[in-house]
Amino acid sequence: MLAVHFGAGNIGRGFIGALLSRSGYEVCFVDIQGRLVETIRERRAYKVHLLEEEDNRIDVNHVTALNSRTEPERVIEAVAGADLVTTAVGPSVLKSVAPILTDGLCLRLEKDGGPLNVIACENMLGGSSLLKKLVTSEMTEEECREVDSLIGFPDAAVDRIVPEQKGTDRLEVAVEPFYEWVVDVRGVRGTVPPIQGVTYVKDLTPYIERKLFTVNTGHAVCAYLGYIMGYGTVQEAIADPSVSETLRGALEETGEFLVQKHGFDPRDHQKYIEEILNRFRNPHLKDPVTRVGRSPLRKLGREDRLLGPALQMMDRGIQPNHLAVGIAAALCFDDPADPEAVKLQRMIKREGPAGTLQAIAGIAPEHPLVRRVREGYRKLRQGT
């Protein structure tokens, strides 16, 4: 079985590629970084280091790689002959992957290659659905019909913290031991991919919202507050009671909303929150707040981890008091090395916090959430 995986980065090697290889797939990574591709091709194996008390390393074998910039024809052939396609490139990069994927899928359809599933493993709602839209936008009506019946784009939720890599080995990836990969089985075409460790569900929404609005909301709130207070890592930030109080408050708010919307058992959800806080505290992880807070414009998107739950909970009469502080903290994120943070700060200078929220997420300045965020923003800027 051949799996073609776009993005040989942290999640690609440290999570998706590792699980696919363990499940018996030969994994062909596709990336644009020449040295990385060459090294994978030379070694055909790497190690995943589990960041826990004991020093465990797992061997990942039967891997190879292709460079989509220098050998696009080979990537197209690989997609045409694959048993599974996955991505972990970043939500904003899906549009760059789409053209070569389209060519591979068209070749497959020409060759009557049979059903195939394409799973986008990105931190976003509807990642595979977006990829399908991008891919089919360039296809004829006939090709679109064939894609509908033969190529599945099941949406997925992926959860594993893979921090910046500090090791000396080019391929080894250090990861937290925990992982969760949930796939919407309704989107699958043909045989359900036999991936060990994947949970197939009939409705992904409760799972992806629970994950995005707990793990990612909490991580973002912690990172942005930590950044303002001068902490370097999530682990340092969460040890500060003023950060952990706001973080816990925000997760209790999103928790109330998730329990109400999806009918989770409140005690189970509380356990889920505690587990996540423990994962953030993992003393073996040193996860920079700048990595977790990266791309603030994306994270301040209307449906993403901050405004997404805040807007939905206000519609239900739940007040995002702590979450609004987290959103205000996101507006203060000014990491000079992050192009989105630089752009964000330029917008705030020009249009103020309310105008910026309107421009990024289309929220009217008179929305009650904006009043709360502005209040939080003023206090954070004054250092109170």
Ligand X SMILES: NC(=O)C1=CN([C@@H]2O[C@H](COP(=O)(O)OP(=O)(O)OC[C@H]3O[C@@H](n4cnc5c(N)ncnc54)[C@H](O)[C@@H]3O)[C@@H](O)[C@H]2O)C=CC1
The site for ligand F6P (CB under 6 A) is made up of 123, 159, 161, 215-216, 219, 292, 294-295
The single-letter DSSP state of residue 29 is E
Query: What CA–CA distance (Å, rounded) separates 227 from 329?
Result: 9
**Exposed, middle or buried, 258 (CB in 10 Å: 0-12/13-18/19+)?**
buried
Half-sphere exposure (CA, 13 Å, Cβ side) for 277? 18
The distance of closest approach from Cβ of residue 291 to ligand X in the complex, given in angstroms and rounded to an integer, is 8
Query: What CA–CA distance (Å, rounded) separates 243 from 18?
Result: 34
Measured from the CB atom, the residue of 8 and 119 that comes closer to ligand X is 8
The distance of closest approach from Cβ of residue 132 to ligand X in the complex, given in angstroms and rounded to an integer, is 17
Q: What are phi and psi of 179, to 5 degrees?
A: -155, 155
75: contact with ligand X by CB under 6 A: no
CA 6 remoteness from chain centre: 14
The distance of closest approach from Cβ of residue 305 to ligand F6P in the complex, given in angstroms and rounded to an integer, is 7
As given in the structure block, the two tokens for residue 296 are 């603030």
As given in the structure block, the two tokens for residue 176 are 């937290």
Among 3, 4, 5, 11, binds ligand X (CB under 6 A): 11
280: contact with ligand X by CB under 6 A: no
Contact 99, 138 (CB under 8 A): yes
Residue 215 touches which of ligand F6P, ligand X, none (Cβ within 5-8 Å per kind) = ligand F6P
Asked if residue 264 belongs to a known ligand binding site, the reply is: no
Query: What CA–CA distance (Å, rounded) separates 86 from 89?
Result: 10
Among 32, 58, 134, 188, binds ligand X (CB under 6 A): 32
Give 42's contacts (C-beta < 8 A, 6+ positions apart): none
Asked if residue 123 belongs to a known ligand binding site, the reply is: no
Give 161's contacts (C-beta < 8 A, 6+ positions apart): 175, 176, 178, 219, 279, 282, 285, 287
Measured from the CB atom, the residue of 189 and 291 that comes closer to ligand X is 291
The distance of closest approach from Cβ of residue 330 to ligand F6P in the complex, given in angstroms and rounded to an integer, is 12
Asked if residue 10 belongs to a known ligand binding site, the reply is: yes
Residue 219 touches which of ligand F6P, ligand X, none (Cβ within 5-8 Å per kind) = ligand F6P
Q: Which residue is nearest to ligand F6P (CB)?
A: 219
Residue 67 touches which of ligand F6P, ligand X, none (Cβ within 5-8 Å per kind) = none
Beta-sheet strands, E only, within 202-285 = none
Query: What CA–CA distance (Å, rounded) separates 328 from 252?
Result: 18
Give, in order, the Cα–Cα distances in Å from 259 to each of 1, 307, 378: 40, 18, 31
161: contact with ligand X by CB under 6 A: yes
Asked if residue 367 belongs to a known ligand binding site, the reply is: no
Measured from the CB atom, the residue of 147 and 175 that comes closer to ligand F6P is 175
160: contact with ligand X by CB under 6 A: yes
The distance of closest approach from Cβ of residue 174 to ligand X in the complex, given in angstroms and rounded to an integer, is 11
Number of residues that bind ligand X (CB under 6 A): 25
- Contact positions vs ligand X (CB under 6 A): 6-12, 30-33, 68, 88-91, 93, 96-97, 122-123, 158, 160-162
Summarize the annotated binding site for NAD(+) as residue ranges.
3-14
